[in-house]
Amino acid sequence: MQQTSDNFIAAATEALHNDYQQATRDFLGQMAPKATAAARANFGDWDALRAHVKRIREHSLDHLAYYLEQYEAAAQADGVQVHWAEDADALNRRVLEICREHGARRVAKGKSMVTEETGLTPYLESAGLTVTETDLGEYIVQQAGEPPSHIVGPALHKSVDEVRELFLRKHDLGERALDGPPELVAEARTVLRDTFLQADVGIIGANALIAESGHSMLVTNEGNGDLVANLPAVRIVCTTIDRVVPRAEDATAMLRLLVRSATGQSVTAYTSFYGGSRREEEQDGPTETHVILLDNHRGEMLEGPFRDMLHCIRCGNCLTHCPIYVAAGGHAYGWVYPGPMGSVLTPLLTSLEASSALPNACTACGRCAEICPADIPLPDLLRDLREEESQQRLNPRRWRLGIRWHARLLRFPRLYHGLSRIAIAALHRLGRRRGAFQSLWLAEGWTGQRDFPAPQSSTTFMQEYRQQSRQSLHSQKAQHDGE
């Protein structure tokens, strides 16, 4: 997918000016935190679960090679063909090879952020295949020619009216009313039914890989994942190496966190565990099953300072808790993963150079880290990325030098206090009458949309305090002399 993360600020401004979409995002930003908070409150000991899953994930990552080998062996014993892909291109090529081996023309896809990351759909399309997304949200954005705006709800930015117009335009089904969501869903279901039945290959993702059994776990609310996984002759599971956990109960412990944090439900409508292909005595299921394990920088992350990010379970809760995501919208982030988790992942999975605005899209308010079910210190990771930016000189020179000189000056208290006295006296004199400045040299970023409050006094506190201490010393001395 074409990355436009470097355009974040301008894209966010544009999004802010779309009143309808802003209102939709504001609503989402109010409702989603309430829904997930209620789900957490109804669970019981949420913090204990969070700590438990964190230990599982840490243990799994500490022994990643071991559990991946165990997974591979168990999956192979179940008849699954396991492939390893170093990068996006390797995954895409492998999928195309499998499709070609089977002379496939039609591909049905379940929801998968990993294949968004590798750009699989355009890759297969450019090779002449027809690829159809079957998750309703993904289907809508695919029909609209847009990327997802949210990792769990890809079409959350679209209104019912927009979807209605889209379906009327895209589906050749004659005149019809399509009034309201039930009719829209029914139509999508009808259209997609043929996709499921005609697909030669079904591609799905995985929420977890279970090492002991070689199974992959997938949760959906629409059941499309199961149709994609079981109706076509060939099933391909595309996922990443960091999804592996030792046991089935580890996957389901994670599931409890995931579902509540993603949608506020206590369980998804469908939770499926996939093993190998159809057995001889069985009537349905694919005749061939593949799992492709993508690395794409996860190995580097495992060894580096951003390892905590591998704990992410892709619930999307940090997105709707982030006022910057709510303001800017998912598309402004310019790649696959938006919001706080995206601002960390995008530089790590693409390059810091191509996404240097993203680590700055944070006020360090800490709301994301507070609710993150994987307990990832997102604001700290973003600060660490800003440090890398600063070291690589990717941040604007003006800012870098400004911060540097300010910090240098602060090391000399007498000089700093002396200079600030002069500056504050001048600012106070200039701003006293109005109380605030409407524009100020070197502070345009501030004064573009806010006044800059003038200093309250012509003196700094440190100056006033010193004067007062001196006076009280004088009066004590005078008193002493007088006695």
Partner 1 sequence: MEPRHSERGAPSPHVGLFVTCLADLFRPSVAWASLTLLERAGCRVSVPSAQTCCGQPAYNSGDKARAVPLAKSVIRAFEGLDYVVAPSGSCAGMLKVHYPRLLEGEWRQRAEHLAQRTWELSAFLTEVTPLPLPANRPDAGHVAFHDSCAGLRELGVREQPRHLLRQQCSADIAELDNRDVCCGFGGTFCAKMPDISTKMCDDKLKAVSATGAPTLVGGDLGCLLNLAGRARRQGQNLQVRHFAELLVGDINQPAIGESGD
What is the largest distance, in Å, between two alpha-carbon atoms of the chain?
112
Q: Give CA–CA dist 10/92, Å, rounded.
A: 32
Q: Give CA–CA dist 236/96, Å, rounded.
A: 11
Full DSSP string of 45-59? -HHHHHHHHHHHHHH
Q: Give CA–CA dist 459/463, Å, rounded.
A: 6
* Per-residue interface string for the shown chain with partner 1, residues 81-100, x marking contact by CB under 8 A: --------------------
Beta carbon nearer to partner 1, 20 or 399:
399
Q: Which of 404, 429, 470, 477 contacts partner 1 by CB under 8 A?
A: 404
Of residues 189-208, which lie at the interface with partner 1 (CB under 8 A)? none
Beta carbon nearer to partner 1, 199 or 378:
378
Full DSSP string of 44-99? S-HHHHHHHHHHHHHHHHHTHHHHHHHHHHHHHHTTPEEEEESSHHHHHHHHHHHH
Q: Which of 189, 193, 461, 478 contacts partner 1 by CB under 8 A?
A: 461
- Is residue 466 a contact point for partner 1 (CB under 8 A)? yes
Q: Which of 105, 189, 408, 429 contacts partner 1 by CB under 8 A?
A: 408
H/E segment holding residue 225: helix 224-230
Cβ-Cβ contacts under 8 Å for 98 (sequence gap 6 or more): 104, 201, 234, 236, 290
3-state class of 285 per DSSP? coil
Minimum CB separation from partner 1 for residue 478, in Å? 19
Segment contacting partner 1 (CB under 8 A): 125-133, 218-226, 261-269, 458-466? 458-466
Minimum CB separation from partner 1 for residue 459, in Å? 7
Minimum CB separation from partner 1 for residue 155, in Å? 23
Q: Which of 411, 441, 480, 481 contacts partner 1 by CB under 8 A?
A: 411
Minimum CB separation from partner 1 for residue 349, in Å? 20
Of residues 21-80, which lie at the interface with partner 1 (CB under 8 A)? 26, 30, 33
Q: Give CA–CA dist 155/138, Å, rounded.
A: 7
- Is residue 417 a contact point for partner 1 (CB under 8 A)? yes
**Cα–Cα nearest to 273, from 311, 229, 335:** 229
Beta carbon nearer to partner 1, 277 or 317:
317
Beta carbon nearer to partner 1, 181 or 453:
453
Segment contacting partner 1 (CB under 8 A): 57-65, 130-138, 173-181, 442-450? 442-450
Q: Give CA–CA dist 18/173, Å, rounded.
A: 31
- Is residue 253 a contact point for partner 1 (CB under 8 A)? no
Residue 278 near residue 131, CB atoms below 8 Å: no
Residue 227 near residue 134, CB atoms below 8 Å: yes
> How many residues interact with partner 1 (rule CB under 8 A)?
73
3-state class of 370 per DSSP? helix
Residue 324 near residue 366, CB atoms below 8 Å: no
- Is residue 9 a contact point for partner 1 (CB under 8 A)? yes
- Is residue 455 a contact point for partner 1 (CB under 8 A)? yes
Of residues 113-152, which lie at the interface with partner 1 (CB under 8 A)? none
Beta carbon nearer to partner 1, 1 or 16:
16
Minimum CB separation from partner 1 for residue 357, in Å? 8
- Is residue 20 a contact point for partner 1 (CB under 8 A)? no
Q: Which of 436, 467, 470, 477 contacts partner 1 by CB under 8 A?
A: 436
Residue 219 near residue 271, CB atoms below 8 Å: yes
Minimum CB separation from partner 1 for residue 24, in Å? 14
274: left (phi over 0), alpha (psi -120 to 50) or beta: beta
Of residues 318-347, which lie at the interface with partner 1 (CB under 8 A)? 323-324, 327-328
Beta carbon nearer to partner 1, 269 or 473:
473
* Per-residue interface string for the shown chain with partner 1, residues 351-390, x marking contact by CB under 8 A: --------xxxxxxxxx-xx------------xxxxxxxx
Minimum CB separation from partner 1 for residue 370, in Å? 6
- Is residue 473 a contact point for partner 1 (CB under 8 A)? no
Q: Which of 20, 27, 66, 465 contacts partner 1 by CB under 8 A?
A: 465
- Is residue 429 a contact point for partner 1 (CB under 8 A)? no
Q: Give CA–CA dist 78/278, Å, rounded.
A: 10
Cα distances from 187 to residues 174, 179, 366, in angstroms, run 12, 11, 42
